[in-house]
Amino acid sequence: MPTVLQLAISRGGVPKLPILEADVTPLGIAGDVQKNRKYHGGPNQALLLITSEGLDELKAAGFPVYPGALGENVTTVGLDRRQVRLGQRYRLGSEVEIEITKMREPCRTLAPYGPTIQKAVYDPDVKAGRPVSPRWGLAGFYVKVLQPGRLYPGDPITLLADPC
């Protein structure tokens, strides 16, 4: 069963640092800050979710990434990024419900992890919402919080609805 590996916040930018528990609100994790509110945050981008397996792929390709490095609030383990689709709804833990709303488009803040990381995680197919891309989900998924609540590392992740 997929689980939450790490929860993370920052005062803006990357990396986000691990926390032991999260108060998840409709606008994200309490205490998390986004410096550029034009492109980050808001109700449809309340959280950024990235799979640890995707991070492992990037590490194998030579990028020095780790949970929280790419600015994600929720790092998962056991969730297949290739099967995640826009519109899917998940329960995280016993309280939090989310909906996948948007593919994350990487910005220049990822440059410290390598000058080619943006191209390694994002391509025209991802931009067009086509999951056939081998890069699908490597940059992460933005989510809307449908039901706020408490969340902890180790909490299970359950698919609730799949519109596909």
Q: How far apart are CA 149 and CA 26, in angstroms?
A: 9
CATH of the domain at 15: 2.40.33.20
pLDDT tens readout for residues 136-146: 999 999 999 99
Report how many domains make up the chain.
1
pLDDT at 38: 66
Q: How far apart are CA 27 and CA 43, in angstroms?
A: 5
Q: Return the ∠ at Cα 16 (arms to 12 and 18), rounded to 5°.
A: 140
Q: What sign does the CA torsion over 129, 134, 139, 144 have?
A: positive
73, amino acid identity: N
Q: How far apart are CA 27 and CA 89, in angstroms?
A: 17
pLDDT at 13: 84
Domain that holds residue 157: 3-161
Is there a contact between 74 and 137 (Cβ–Cβ < 8 Å)?
Answer: no
Q: Which residues in the chain land under pLDDT 70?
A: 36-39, 164
